[in-house]
Amino acid sequence: MAASDYLFTSESVSEGHPDKVCDRISDEVVDAYLAAFPYARVACETLATTNRIVIAGEVRGPEQITHDTVRCIAREAVRQIGYTQKGFDWRTAAVDVHLHEQSADIARGVDAAGNKDEGAGDQGIMFGFACDETPVLMPAPIHYAHDILKRMAAVRHSGQAPQLGPDAKSQVTLRYVNGEPVGTTSIVVSTQHTEDVSQEEVREIVRHHVLAAIPEGWMCPEDSFYVNPTGQFVIGGPDGDAGLTGRKIIVDTYGGAAPHGGGAFSGKDPTKVDRSAAYAARYLAKNVVAAGLARKCLIQLSYAIGVAKPLSIYVDTQGTGEVDEAKLASLLMDLDLSPRGIRERLGLNKPIYARTAAYGHFGREPEADGGFSWEKTDLVEHLRSAF
């Protein structure tokens, strides 16, 4: 039996974190290809270090997107994030591009042909999760960790807090009593800053955004509120630590409160089930909770490369379900969960991915142009009526 009284911690990282810089560049490349051709294939990886960016991978799409185009895309992404420091500057960083044609063997398995439907772009397992701890049906620790950094980024971009730099991390530990979050026991925020600001000033800037992000009365004790524990954080971003696409998969999903299949999202077009099926699993889990069929819902899907239909579906409502899990799994399996079915239902063949690269792929508001479509709850009535 799961413990009902415990502490649980999740972390988030800002858009200027080295790994997130790489996620952003990779997803900007995906968006550029999908904007030019909705059925383009992209698997793009980025590495960033001191004043150098390396972009590599496989693509299939219009020739109008050249290596020079990709270099411009990378520089613009870094400019928007806000890097103009000596060791990492969007204007002077070297950008190496090593994108080449997608493997014919992969294309053969994925492409639709004759009576064969479009297959999955890879084998793998994907998880989706939802719970009623927050209004957006996300686990509370990761939700608040993201919100702290989003608020700090907003004032940095607006010019209200010019002392802050692009690179930052947050960590929130919540106390659970009878399975419900009741307050924080510790909060850690490390943020890059200018040389002319004191640590106490940084602490008070951060405090304001922490208090705005967490529920009233949830603040941790003062001696458990850590801001820049090393004492100084001036050198940040890829100049301070090399970054790679796909290294923050727990930050991208549920903060450790649910399993992760292992595949990263950023840099991949939606034929890659690492991305699209993980979005679909979240979509299904969120609708189950939104429909009141469970307070928590974990869903696993599995696929084989080149095969359209999922090999399995697993549903676990973690003791909170109001309906039979086997019947629920059967009902969800009746939906078209092939790569093509997912993409069409959620409208994934659009340039909507760069915005997902920081502050989580889940728990966001669906947008008018189709962004975060997997956060919709339009299956609620269908699920309720089935039970």
Positions at the binding site for L-methionine: 58, 102, 241, 272
Task: Clarify whether 86 is annotated catalytic.
Answer: no
Task: Clarify whether 286 is annotated catalytic.
Answer: no
Catalytic residue from among 75, 143, 193, 268: 268
Residue for token pair 């520089």: 75
Tokens of 54: 């390396």
Tokens of 268: 């991949």
Catalytic residue from among 27, 45, 147, 252: 45
CB 352 within 8 A of CB 371: yes
Catalytic residue from among 274, 281, 290, 361: 274
Task: Clarify whether 222 is annotated catalytic.
Answer: no
Catalytic residue from among 56, 242, 304, 329: 242
Task: Clarify whether 248 is annotated catalytic.
Answer: yes
CB 34 within 8 A of CB 348: no
CB 193 within 8 A of CB 163: yes
CB 152 within 8 A of CB 190: no
Task: Clarify whether 147 is annotated catalytic.
Answer: no
Task: Clarify whether 241 is annotated catalytic.
Answer: yes
Task: Clarify whether 169 is annotated catalytic.
Answer: yes
Spatial separation of the C-alpha atoms in residues 7 and 145, rounded to whole Å = 15
As annotated, the binding site includes 17, 19, 45, 58, 102, 167-169, 241, 247-248, 264, 268, 272
As annotated, the binding site for Mg(2+) includes 19
Task: Clarify whether 247 is annotated catalytic.
Answer: yes
Catalytic residue from among 58, 89, 111, 117: 58
Residue for token pair 């000596």: 86
Spatial separation of the C-alpha atoms in residues 159 and 49, rounded to whole Å = 26
Catalytic residue from among 129, 233, 362, 372: 233
Catalytic residue from among 60, 146, 193, 248: 248
- Which amino acid belongs to residue 363? G
Catalytic residue from among 24, 41, 143, 169: 169
As annotated, the binding site for ATP includes 17, 167-169, 241, 247-248, 264, 268
CB 271 within 8 A of CB 121: yes
Catalytic residue from among 11, 20, 120, 278: 20
Catalytic residue from among 17, 146, 209, 275: 17
Task: Clarify whether 17 is annotated catalytic.
Answer: yes
Spatial separation of the C-alpha atoms in residues 276 and 297, rounded to whole Å = 19
User: For the purposes of burial, counting CB atoms within 10 Å of the CB of 4, is it exposed (0-12), middle (13-18) or buried (19 or more)?
Assistant: exposed
Spatial separation of the C-alpha atoms in residues 84 and 104, rounded to whole Å = 40
Task: Clarify whether 242 is annotated catalytic.
Answer: yes
Task: Clarify whether 350 is annotated catalytic.
Answer: no
Spatial separation of the C-alpha atoms in residues 70 and 61, rounded to whole Å = 13
Task: Clarify whether 111 is annotated catalytic.
Answer: no
Catalytic residue from among 15, 19, 269, 316: 19
Catalytic residue from among 272, 282, 343, 345: 272
Tokens of 366: 């669906």
Sign of CA dihedral 310, 374, 109, 115: positive
Give catalytic residues, as residue numbers.
17, 19-20, 45, 58, 169, 233, 241-242, 247-248, 268, 272, 274
